[in-house]
A and B are shown apart, each in its own frame.
Chain A
């Protein structure tokens, strides 16, 4: 006979249960998943003991979807349906993609929108980059669940620091679609800094130079007293190892005087170009011999000198962005205590050399540049999932990489939130109507540093509706722009004189609308119809349990802030939610959760005020300095 679990009513049976949380590095070339196990951050391998998952997805004619190494093997045979480096398409239009003419995919021209995110026509239908990325994330989620033996509480997914709002949103959507609960989007260089900083207990100013497969980031951080504070970030979200490969690819075509290539040959040559680049990290020259499908032979030798020559402008770009980040942080080169190298492309010797020359010091390479981002993300995930221990009391303060602005008269941009502002940040702006009886207005939000709207990236058009009609100029509509800790923007609006909250409709310029995501989520479950509702019930139960635990913990420490009546109301709502959990009915759980949340709103506000009060007034200034 099984033993009954004995627990006080209302107390969870396992209060110190370790919650399963992972960090995922969703890379251009490779992706990884890591977790904290017995206090150590470790990368989780696949069943064959491999840590990297090539970021390649193949849609096969028989309806199967391959990811990773098995998909990678098919890329020269089936280039149209084998998607590599999909990260470069996230939140991007066709015109944004470099060397688009050399890519073998069938891009779908978006007819109803002027641009919009690119879509790819595959043998399994039209796929958005979000869906392709979700397949990679799903493979990693399943790997983690198999390896950890349970369902995940949540994941921290990393993004390049220089990703704009559309690219971040696309990443978050992909994670949702893959069945992950996203605890936080974390900037890749910051994740690397966590992995390094916590290992070495370092203090001072650090630079993180992160050159990956498709993106380049540089972040300047201040590490002090358990706080990782990003001072400035810069980079190029379309510059990475792929571009070095492309230079080699073009050089081969030129040297071998090749005719226009078939998609299969082009892919083959790209692979060889990449192998040659990697070989040159250890050797002084690389021989490239290929027999093409066209029957042509390629036999050329690439020396490190020539490689350095043809890729010089790429390295110079990274140095310029690094200097700019330092200027933004108002720091001189000699104030930087250490330079952390991240990303596979930092293995290129000339990159190492250029960075050490710029900073007058040898960069740090002691953690594997391919793994360090995932390791840092796992540490953050562990913390956010609530597996915090007393000595792990640290905090991360990150920034917004690109300024946010509004379109004003004449196609000009009015800066709203400057780049490198610490997150979260909000800004409110007041607008008025210019027509009698006007009840709606549109706001165009852009991201970038330039003065003209056409030179910045369009993020979204926000349509505000439903405020009361008034004479022109009488309405005062206060629009609040909030950027959260993930670096994602949300907009709310309220008409000040009437207090009416406006409905805000978001039309993302390069993203998916909420309805599209909902459809994709549904499609994912179409094979098992009741799977979707069972999953929704399960999610509601988990959420309710979390709420119960949080409220009980709050009552335990701060019930002194409540009157008897208030306490009674909360207790009652709490009991109702607990009973609804037994009923196995989603609607009942949802409404009981809403009731408990409402009952605890004021309590939450008072607790936060009290906590702030304790933070500073409870101790002398000398204690905290």
Chain B
């Protein structure tokens, strides 16, 4: 047999048939996701027995879950670190390097300042901040690949994941501010 048996309990990497690494080829992930949903989605079993339909829903749900977890670099890192026995411990471990916190505070203030401004100026300022944040997050996502796949430095990877989650929250706040500014 080519691969171990796949069941509903298989881990996400096995399920989507991709290597268990932080680096992922998104095109392959996309293709495998589509291939799998093409088999398991309830619409493909609409004329089958009730048991088949229930199973189809469970499988399709699981495949969606796997795809969501592996598609986003941050979610993928959390999941992978968990499989490797390292809990990111977002709730309990809130210690951050002081310079990171300083930078975050400055960004947050900039977001608040931008919201005070009116109309198009506010929108442009917020969009600029969002772009800057994205550039930074992309660089740190590359660093995550290095820490996990190459250096196997899981403790450092956990620290970086926590920082990235902080930034993701900030990104959501900017998104929400943009929603308000453009509504």
Residues of A within 8 A of B (CB): 183-184, 224-227, 229, 320, 323-324, 327, 383-386, 393, 395-397, 421-426, 482, 484-485, 546-547, 550-551, 554, 597, 600-601, 604-605, 607-609, 611-618, 621, 624-625
Contact = CB atoms under 8 A, between A and B. Distances in A.
12 contacts: A324-B179, A327-B175, A386-B46, A393-B38, A421-B64, A550-B47, A554-B48, A608-B59, A611-B39, A612-B6, A612-B15, A615-B35
B69 interface: no
A385 B16 CA distance: 29
B91 interface: no
Given A327-B175, A605-B55, A613-B3, A485 B50 contact: no
B60 A617 contact: no
Interface string B1-33: 011011100000001110000000001100110
B44 interface: yes
A616 B68 contact: no
Q: What interface size band does chain B fall in?
A: 35 or more
B134 to A, nearest CB: 10
A421 B6 CA distance: 24
Given A227-B38, A613-B6, A546 B43 contact: no
Interface of B: 2-3, 5-7, 15-17, 27-28, 31-32, 34-44, 46-52, 55-57, 59-61, 64-65, 67-68, 175, 178-179, 182-183
B107 to A, nearest CB: 19
Contacts of B64: 421-425
A426 B61 contact: yes
Contacts of A224: 34
A382 B55 CA distance: 22
B59 A324 contact: no
Contacts of B7: 609
A613 B8 CA distance: 11
Most chain B beta carbons < 10 A, residue from A183, A229, A485: A485
B6 A600 contact: no
Contacts of B182: 320, 323-324
A385 B47 contact: yes
Nearest to A320: B183
A551 B183 contact: no
A425 B37 CA distance: 13
A422 B17 CA distance: 20
A337 B108 CA distance: 35
A554 B47 CA distance: 12
The 8 closest A-B pairs by CB, nearest first: A386-B47, A616-B17, A384-B46, A625-B31, A604-B51, A617-B3, A615-B39, A550-B49
Contacts of B15: 612
Contacts of A600: 49, 51
A615 B36 contact: yes
Most chain B beta carbons < 10 A, residue from A424, A609, A621, A625: A424
Contact of A424 (B31, B52, B60, B183): B60
A616 B35 contact: yes
Contacts of A611: 39-40
Contacts of B36: 612, 615-616
Contact of A395 (B16, B38, B61): B38
A393 B46 CA distance: 14
Given A384-B47, A604-B52, A621-B28, A421 B68 contact: yes
Most chain B beta carbons < 10 A, residue from A484, A597, A617: A617
Nearest to B18: A621
A485 B47 CA distance: 15
A229 B7 CA distance: 25
A605 B6 CA distance: 11
Given A422-B64, A425-B64, A625-B27, A485 B48 contact: no
Contacts of B175: 327
